[in-house]
Amino acid sequence: MRLLGAPRERIGVISFTLEGVHPHDVGTILDQEGIAVRTGHLCAQPLLKRLGETAVVRASLAAYSRREDLDALAAGLRKVRETFA
């Protein structure tokens, strides 16, 4: 997994890619697991180009996100891996 950006302080908005799986496929599988993320170029093509990506996955966490939500995201990402293993 590649996390994009390395700020010293980070808010709960995290963009990432999984090697060998297109972000839209990640997004569709997470969606089937009931997890909503944004995928694609996020209307930020110049920045993504600079970062060497054409599309990413973005999870947006906030004050109301719970530990269970993160566990569900992790489980969903494992499912992505299994699907494309």
Q: Footprint of another protein on this chain (CB under 8 A)?
A: 20-25, 28-29, 32, 40-41, 45, 54-55, 79, 82-84
> What's the CA gap between 69 and 54, in Å, rounded?
27
Smallest distance from the beta carbon of 22 to another protein, in angstroms? 4
Answer whether 24's CB lies under 8 Å from 31's CB. no
Smallest distance from the beta carbon of 63 to another protein, in angstroms? 30
**Which CB sits closer to another protein, 1 or 62?**
1
State yes or no: is 30 an active-site residue: no
CA-based R_g, the chain, Å: 13
